[in-house]
Amino acid sequence: MAAGASRARLDLNSPEFQDVFSRLETAELKQVVASLRRLSELDWGAIYRHTGFQWEAIKHLKAPNGAGAYSLRLSQKVRALTFRDGDFLRFIFLHPDHDSAYRR
């Protein structure tokens, strides 16, 4: 990590996120946990550049703090809705059906 770069801190405390997370099948859960671990090791610049997470703005949604909402790929099937709040990457929803991330 470059000097002065801030590492992303993950906030997984959303009840909606936790509800779906706790019901994932074992194979999906392992992939999602691996992605979350990888995210927690990256600084913000690396997250934005990382092509595997397919970071996409959801233009019709705003986060509770007024920031933009983003869809982030955590596995082949699972996407998360997130937003940045300072050094925190806050997870709002977890979507086990990839396309459902775009319907909120």
Whether the pLDDT of residue 56 is over 60: the answer is yes
Q: CA dihedral defined by 12, 17, 19, 21, rounded to 10 degrees?
A: -80
Specify the CATH number of the domain 9-102: 3.30.2310.20
pTM of the predicted model as reported, rounded to 2 decimal places: 0.84
Contacts of 1 (CB under 8 A, 6+ apart): 7, 42, 43, 46
pLDDT at 98: 52
Give the pLDDT score at 75. 93
Q: Would you kindly state where each structural domain of the chain is located, as residue ranges? A: 9-102
Distance CA 84, CA 99 (A): 22
**What is the reported pLDDT for 65?**
84
Q: What was the pLDDT predicted at 58?
A: 92
Q: What is the DSSP string of 47-95?
A: HHH-STT--EEEEEEE-TTSPEEEEEE-SSS-EEEEEEETTEEEEEEEE
Higher pLDDT, 1 or 83: 83
The number of angstroms, rounded, from the C-alpha of 10 to the middle of its chain's C-alpha atoms is 8
Q: Tell me how crowded residue 61 is: count the other CB atoms within 10 A of its CB.
A: 16
